[in-house]
Structures are given as structure tokens and as C-alpha cells.
Chains A and B, each alone.
Chain A
Amino acid sequence: MDDYDDLILSELPNEELVPQMHDDLYDGLNEEVVEGVNILLERGWLPYRVLTEALVEGMRIVGIDFRDGILFVPEVLMSANAMKAGMTILKPLLIETGAPRMGKMVIGTVKGDIHDIGKNLVSMMMEGAGFEVVDLGINNPVENYLEAIETEDPDILGMSALLTTTMPYMKVVIDRLKELGIRDNLVVLVGGAPLNEEFARAIGADSYCRDAAIAVETAKEYMARKHNQLVAAG
């Protein structure tokens, strides 16, 4: 086999192009992913279909191998960047075509913590799964979260911390939400290497998400539950 033969994406039929795009996402190849997105759009695919069948499905595979300890952060970041490149094309089209929304998340790393690797992964994978994400960045005091909740009206609040010194700050934020009586309007997901489920429960979060793939699964579950409740109530 000649390893140095290049593929011509535009010559592939859809049923080969889409799995090839999954591979290219897996390998973090920005240009190829962008090319694939453009080809599918030219072939008349709706943006939402390109998003779900090509990008979201590709990132789901990346997520599985990340969860299973086969891929690590550098590879996933490359994949997420490729996904982002594809999203740059799709985003305006999705808004134009009124594609269904999964839900909205406000996410940020807590005060004192510089670490944004995990948070960025969650942010990108959530976008990859069709969520709207408002990323507050790093080092957020409680006021930042409150302001974003006020203006963005998210379904989900995500907080991240990687340090022993910053983990307790998540509780500061949740306690403040309780004081203001808005805690129960939100699903609060927390993440970060030193945390665990028990910790999440102790500080009053809804769930601990071990990694970005699990964050997406968890967010989807909560959104489905919320949807069912609305249907039941309506």
C-alpha cells in the first residue's frame, strides 16, 4: 500500500465521505474537515445534517476513545480544533436555517484556577453535540457566573477546577445560587481531575463529569429529562 497517496474527497460518494470525515476529525485534520463540510453542503445537505452525521458523530467516536484512555488531551484538542473549523462554516447556516437546539450552557473555570484544558474540551464537545455554549474562560469569581446566568438564561451551568486550592470555590458559587433562589432553575455540572461524584454531591452540584465525553452524555440526559417533564406538564 502506498502511504503517500492522497485522497480526493470530492470524488468520494457520501457513504464513504462521511466516515472519512470521521477519520479526519479523529486525526485532527482541519483543512480536510472543512473541505468535507463544504462538499456535503454543495451536495445539498442541510447544515443540521452535516453537523449531526459528520461532525457530531465523528466527535462522538473521539469521545469514546478519550473516555477509554486511548486518546489523550493533545489528540482531542487537535480533533476539537478541526471540529471548530468545520463549525465556523456551519454556525451561521444553522442559525439561518433554524436548526433545533439541544440546550444552552454557561461554562467557566473558577476563581484562582488557570486551567482551561478540560473546560475547553467540554466546551468544544458540547458545541459538537449541538449545544449553544457561552464560555466565560478562566478565573471566574461568582459575579461572572451570576451575570452570565442573568443575561444568557442557560439550561446548564458548568464549572471546572483542577486544583486543591480552587475546588472549594465551586461550592461558593452554588451556595450563592441557592441564596438567590435560582439554583433549581439550572443543571449544575462540575468537572476537574481531583473531583469525584461524591464531591459533586457534597457541594450541591447535580453531577460530576469525569471527562468531556461524559459531560456531553450527562447534559443530554438532563435535557431529555427536562423535555419529558415539559411534555408531561403540558
Chain B
Amino acid sequence: MNLNCILDRQGWLLADGATATNLFNMGLEAGEAPEMLNVMDPAKVSKLYRNAVAAGAQLFLTNSFGSNRARLQLHNAADRSRELSKVAALLAREVADSSPELCIVAGSMGPSGEIMGPAGSLSHSDAVELFHEQATGLAEGGVDLLWIETMSSQEEFLAAAEGCRLAGLPWCGTMSFDTAGRTMMGISPPQLVDIAESVVPAPLAMGANCGSGISDLMQALIQICDARPSRPVIAKGNAGIPSFVEGRIHYAGSPEVMADYVELARNVGATIIGGCCGTTPRHVEKMRERLETAPMGAKPRLEEVIAKLGPLTYDNAPRTNRRRSRRRRSAGRRPARHN
């Protein structure tokens, strides 16, 4: 696998930056599906990929984050999941194959947007089918591997992994820890490691992406690495927090801050490192330069991370446990969820 080739050779691998942010900069309108561009304006998508590769990304994600049936439904394109996924991959394959440097195409698979588990309505089998369909399209278009990202629930993460298995391709998986240090659904970074390690076949790599500020991501990364996963760890953080400047979304993180971030992330133990929302080719260039030039350093503590990258966006104080119910349960009743 080329992923391991690059990791063996360099000890790290630079992944790309944002997809949507960069498509916005090329004129994508708010509320429109980025995946429709794969067929409506493929030149733009190719340009997005080429810019990432030219800036030094050795792995880039296809423009297929939302190309699953449930999300495309919004744009009356539910039945185009496989087609749009395939085209996203074909365009990416073309760019990767014409790159002088070895370059990996990762088929992006984001969440369905539906809720699974006891509180939700999407069943495991429907979820598997939806991700399998997307993964099949990406496989047909020639991706090297599948890239499950921005997940928040264990159920959905497992369903997506199952979809990858059915499509017959290796996969990587990341979750988004944006809620008080956990995912929206309450998964902690060490739990992600347990979940990912339990999947057969195991992922090529696992980690954290997106979420909130970059220091929040680093905190999750530290916890993931402390849990000692047996596979390479991925970090793909946002270039700061979004703000609105002159009618456009702007991310506050400068290329220099993102360069500091990749260095810190590598020192923490991540080996596959890239950006997420707000990370433009300008950032990616600086990130590559830093990885090339900075020597490996000591593992930083959270305080050091915060000093360099900015404060956490949440209160990191230890939390109390959930209230204990006074109810005594009859046999067979659903037990309360405990953290």
C-alpha cells in the first residue's frame, strides 16, 4: 500500500486541506451541494485537487463528503450517489496519476446526517447500504483507499466501515471531537481507538478531524496517542475558527499557525497530518515546508500547544458524572447509559 510506502520513507505524510472552503473560493454558492460540481463543473474540482497536490499534499480527499443517498436527497439527487462518487474519484485519479510525486487518492465519506442508535431512525442495514453505495462509486472511480471522516456516532462509524469492507477497499476513519472534548454523540478520543481497533478489517489509520478550534483537535490527538493505537494516527484540523468577513467565511488560522500545528501534531505522534475547514493551498505549502525542515521534537504538553495555537474552545476541567437515578429498575428495562 502506497500509504505505508510514504510513511516508511518519511515517517510522516502530508494530507490536503479543506474541500468546501476552497470550492467556495472558486465560486461555490452557499447551500449548494459541492458534489454536484463533479458533473456540473468538473474543471473546478480538478483544479481543487491540482492545487492541493501542487502545494505539497501527498494524500488528498475526493469531493464526495456528502455524496451519500441521504445527503443528496436534499438536492433531489438521491439516486446519483454512485455516479457522483465515481466522478469525484475519476477526476482525482487523473490528477494523482499525472503528479510527479507519489500521491494517494482517498475517497471521502462524511456522515449521513441521520441519527442511528436508540434515539434515531436510521437502521444499521440502511446505513451500511448507503455507505456501500457511495464506497462502490468511489472504488469504481479508482480511489486508493476510503476515508471515513467527521463522524460522531459509533453506530455510524461502524456502518461506514462495513460499507468500505463490502466495497473491498482499505479504509481510514476519523471522528470530529467538537463537544466538550468528545464527539456530539459523546464518544471520547480513547473510545474512538477502541472502536476502530475492534473493526474487521482494521483501518489503515485513525484519528481526529474538523471539530472546533485547532487546540481542541490537538487535545483529542494527545488522548488518541495516549491510548496507544496499533495503527498510524491522523490529524486533520481546522485553520482556526470561522468568522464572516466581507460576505465570505474566513478562518482565522494563518499559514504560520498551521505550520506550528503540523509540527506539534507530529511531535504528539500523528503521522498522517493535514488540514480541514479553512485550510487553503497557501496553508498546505507552509505545512509541507515545516514537516520537511523541522526536526522531530519532544512530545508537547497541552499547555505548550495552547501557548502556540490558542486556547481551547471549551472548559477542560474534569467533569462530574451524570446524575444517579433514584429509579430502581424492573428486570429487562433499558439500563441508564453511564459514561
Interfacial residues, chain A to chain B (CB-CB below 8 A): 1-7, 19-20, 23-24, 26-29, 32, 61, 65, 68-75, 77-78, 81, 110-117, 138-139, 141, 163-169, 171-172, 193-196, 198-199, 202-203
Contacts and interface: CB of A to CB of B under 8 A. Distances in A.
6 contacts: A26-B322, A27-B336, A72-B182, A164-B24, A165-B34, A196-B241
B115 A117 contact: yes
Given A29-B334, A164-B20, A193-B179, 18 more contacts: A4-B328, A5-B330, A6-B329, A20-B327, A23-B325, A69-B319, A70-B321, A73-B186, A75-B322, A81-B119, A111-B30, A113-B74, A114-B71, A114-B114, A165-B32, A168-B30, A196-B242, A199-B243
Given A69-B181, A165-B24, A171-B244, A27 B31 contact: no
The 10 closest A-B pairs by CB, nearest first: A69-B180, A72-B186, A112-B31, A114-B113, A111-B31, A77-B119, A202-B244, A168-B30, A6-B330, A169-B30
B33 interface: yes
Contacts of A32: 327
Interface of B: 18, 20-21, 24, 28, 30-34, 70-71, 73-75, 113-115, 117-120, 152-153, 178-186, 212, 241-245, 247-249, 277-278, 314-315, 319-323, 325-331, 334, 336-337, 339
A168 B182 contact: no
Nearest to B113: A114
Main secondary structure of the interface of B (DSSP, over half): loop
B185 A74 contact: yes
Which of A4, A74, A77 gathers the greatest number of chain B CB atoms within 10 Å?
Answer: A74
A199 B242 contact: yes
Given A73-B185, A165-B20, A198 B243 contact: yes
Contacts of B20: 163-165
A61 B324 CA distance: 13
Contact of B249 (A4, A73, A139, A167): A167
A167 B242 contact: yes
Contacts of A111: 30-31
Contacts of A115: 113
Contacts of A23: 323, 325-327
A115 to B, nearest CB: 5
Q: Counting chain A CB atoms within 10 Å of each CB, which of B24, B179, B320 scores highest?
A: B179
A29 B325 CA distance: 11
